[in-house]
Amino acid sequence: MPVLVPLVVAIPFIFAGWVVHRALEHRARMRQLNTRALQQQPMAALPAADRVALEQRIANLEAIVCSDEFAFQRSLADKRGAA
């Protein structure tokens, strides 16, 4: 029984120390991640050939989207006119 009393008294202090230690570890890790994210270099620019190909692809996709939107708007107008 004499060993139990100091153990019961010490457990809350040990637990509190463990919680404080974990909180400080977490803060240090978050600080490390934030500084690493700020230090990352921007991505390198695309080579000219890749940039031209990408711009052509985007233009093609824009044309497809616009034509589909135009067809959709026309079908909506037709349905409104018929109703």
The tens digit of pLDDT for each residue in 16-42 reads 999 999 999 999 999 998 888 777 766
Total residues belonging to the chain: 83
**Cβ–Cβ contacts within 10 Å for residue 23, how many?**
10
pLDDT of residue 38: 75
Domain with 63, as residue range(s), is 45-83
Q: Say if residue 50 is in the same domain as residue 36.
A: no
What pLDDT is stored for residue 42 in this prediction? 64
Shared-domain flag, residues 36 and 49: no
Verdict on whether the full-model pTM lies above 0.75: no
Both 51 and 70 in a single domain? yes
Confidence of residue 3 (pLDDT cuts 50, 70, 90): confident
**Do 17 and 2 share a domain, yes or no?**
yes
Q: Do both 56 and 25 map to the same domain?
A: no
Number of domains in the chain: 2
Within a 13 Å sphere around the CA of 77, how many CA atoms are in the beta-carbon half?
6
pLDDT at 13 over 90: yes
Contacts of 73 (CB under 8 A, 6+ apart): none
d(CA 76, CA 70): 10
